[in-house]
Amino acid sequence: MPVYTGSDIPASVGRGILDAELKAWLPTGPVLGADVAISQGRRDHTVLGAGPWPEIGAVDTFALPGPHGSLTVRRHTPTRAASRPAGALAYIHGGGFSYGTLDEFEVGLRVVAERAGIVTYAIDYQLAPEAKYPVQIDEIEFFVRWLFDNAHSEGVDPNKIALGGDSAGGNMTCVVALKLRDENGPQLALQVPLYPEASFPGDTLSGSENRVGLYLETNGIYEMVRNYIKNSDDGRHPYITPLNAPSHADLPPTILVTNGFDPLRDVGHAYAQKLAAAGNAITYVHHPDLTHGFLQFTRYAAACHQATLELADLIKQHIG
């Protein structure tokens, strides 16, 4: 996997050759942004949450009195923590704001927790369109602040708390990191936006050449964003479209990942460039042979599993 720092991020990134195993599996799997009812799309995605799941030290689920009702969180504790107290990753799952269950991300998060030796916390935020922006941001920020406040009782090092997420979760990772900076909130040790929806990709090359048949479909993104925001919301606001922030300075160290066969490739790459130009420490990873969603596809393609292991190794370097 090509890995870059802030000083050598390439001017552009593109596609290589789609991994053969992933290419063979994609037609049999679900489609994110398919032209079907939300209820059907959610049913289609449940296959990603089927067991068996990898072994791990412990898994438990708890609920907190969140800002919009009970907030469920699933905690993954590794067999051997890399440090005592442990590093922690609060994780925001993807799914276009409209899809996704904790089960569907269970494999990837177990792999990351066990490999990196950190505790991961999967946040079961409310989905759109039943809940509209900024409910999701409120819930995620609430949990991050809760984790800092309760780090000692959780056995977590408050200096090793990271926030990450994929796709729409990557969008919300960037948003909450911006918001914490703007509010002089607790300082994250790391942010990990994976193939983030830093902006809307309709007029990008990646949005065009990867628009169909590669799991996430470009035109379906419009419906998912429509589910998320109200007519009165300004879609250009940085807390909706983080690429539009007037400043990207003073943000946490970052691991940002993009994929060649992904409609969000170019907007994620643009966000990496913004972070680097603003002087932030960044590790930028580009997988030219993978699609959107590789964290969920670890059991279907060895390349996706390897990419997830390599991601865990990078996270461990920061907060392990």
- Candidate list 262, 287, 289, 305, residue with the active-site label: 262
Residue 262 is a catalytic residue: yes
Active site residue 292: yes
- Identify the CA nearest to 90 among candidates 38, 141, 46, 45: 141
Q: Greatest CA separation found in the chain? A: 48
Cis before 52 (ω within 30): yes
Q: Which of 167, 266, 286, 305 is catalytic?
A: 167
Residue 171: in which H helix or E strand, if any?
A: helix 168-182
The secondary structure of 267-296 as a DSSP string is HHHHHHHHHHHTT--EEEEEEEEEETTGGG
Omega of the bond leading into 186 within 30 degrees of 0 (cis): no
SS3 content of the chain, % helix, strand, coil (to 5): 40, 20, 40
Q: Determine the 3-state secondary structure of 123 from DSSP.
A: strand
Query: What residues contact 69, with CB distance under 8 A and at least 6 apart?
Result: 126
Helix (H) or strand (E) holding 226: helix 218-228
Structure tokens at 232: 């009165």
Alpha-carbon span 298 to 95, nearest angstrom: 17
**Active-site option among 45, 292, 305, 318:** 292
The one-letter code for the residue type at 149 is D
- Residue 167: active-site member: yes
Q: Which residues are catalytic?
A: 167, 262, 292
